Amino acid sequence: MSNRWSLVVPVKTLVAAKTRLAAATGPHRTRLAVAVACDTVEAALSCRRVARVVVVTADPAAAGPLAGLGAEVVHDPDRGLNTALRTGAAHAVRVAPGDAVGALQADLPALRPAELALALEAAAEFDHAFVPDAPDVGTTFYGVRPGTPFTPRFGGESRAKHLAAGAKELAVPGIDSVRRDVDTPDDLRAAVALGLGRHTAAVVGELWPDT
């Protein structure tokens, strides 16, 4: 069982990111997308179980800030989310073949390193495992042990897809921040209630000064 993880974080081209937040965020939408990704990556890099974070993106506006935080940036071949994740995972395996590999969504602005560690500790007990999102429809994390094929099935009702593929669903208490991804204004408010990371908090402070 590996105690070290390489995490792959996919970051969309910012013009396509967070479209469901457009009405609420207006001209701040791309800034918010970068801030959320920065908080996700910063929290992951601060987690004691995480050896490296591999960001997969084709957008230099995201690549620069994320590399500045310490992420390894790999170019996104632009053939869909799961292909991007497999590209990042292949890089991670080349760099550290003995480490477990996980995919982490880039939109977890309230992510806590200690809560991520709990999820990774649970995931290390299984060949492949995942964490469902807060509504129990999607997936925020998918991970495999070293040597296990990395077969993410993100997109749409990915919780059902991962279950159907035999991945272990992790019902770990106390990992709300790992499950709270942000796609809508209501999601963002729920993340605010958990406590935002510093990058997202700065942007949200401009959007909603009373928050």
Binding-site residues for phosphoenolpyruvate, in ranges, read: 139, 155, 158
- In the chain, the N- to C-terminal Cα span, in Å, equals 43
- List Cα–Cα distances, 182 to 24, 59, 89, in angstroms: 13, 20, 23
Is residue 101 within 8 Å of residue 6, measured between CB atoms? yes
The whole-angstrom separation of Cα 2 and Cα 97 is 11
Sign of CA dihedral 197, 199, 204, 206: positive
State the binding site: 139, 155, 158
DSSP string, 11-79: ---GGGTTGGGHHHHGGGHHHHHHHHHHHHHHHHHTSTTEEEEEEEES-HHHHHHHHHHTPEEEE--SS
Distance, in Å, from the CA atom of 153 to the CA atom of 195, rounded to the nearest integer, reads 29
Query: SS3 breakdown of the chain: % helix, strand, coil, rounded to 5?
Result: 45, 15, 35
- Residue 112 burial by CB count (10 A; 0-12/13-18/19+): exposed, middle or buried? buried
